[in-house]
Amino acid sequence: MKEIETDGQILGRILGGIRRNKKSKDKKWTIAYVAEQAELDENFVEKFLREGKKEPQFVTIAKLAEALELSIDDLWEEYKKERYPSGE
């Protein structure tokens, strides 16, 4: 049986993918750079972007999205695509 992903895991995967995409075009987009821009602990950011978190705080998600130059609206659209792939 497939384990259902938490919202935090989905958000972590989305934000991590955006960071990797940006890094492929510009090497400055390291975990350390994103953590600094978001004013969050580097170890926390690395773990979150790799594994997600069951109950992420909105402010944490907002800080990471802003650091990655992603609007909350765009993040929400990406989240809906992942959570409801068939448009449920």
pLDDT digits (tens, 9 = 90+) for 9-50: 999 999 999 999 999 999 999 999 999 999 999 999 999 998
Expressed as residue numbers, the domain containing 55 is 12-83
Whole-angstrom distance, CA of residue 4 vs CA of residue 23 = 29
Whole-angstrom distance, CA of residue 26 vs CA of residue 44 = 22
Could you tell me if residue 6 is inside a domain? no
Could you tell me if residue 27 is inside a domain? yes
Could you tell me if residue 45 is inside a domain? yes
Residue 1 has pLDDT above 60, yes or no: no
pLDDT of residue 2: 61
Could you tell me if residue 54 is inside a domain? yes
**Tokens representing 5?**
């992903």
CATH number for the domain that contains residue 59: 1.10.260.40
Residue owning tokens 């695509």: 81
Could you tell me if residue 88 is inside a domain? no
pLDDT in tens, 43-87: 999 999 988 877 789 999 999 999 999 999 999 999 999 988 876
Whole-angstrom distance, CA of residue 5 vs CA of residue 39 = 27
Whole-angstrom distance, CA of residue 49 vs CA of residue 1 = 25
Residue owning tokens 């992420």: 56
Count structural domains, the chain.
Answer: 1
Predicted model pTM: 0.89
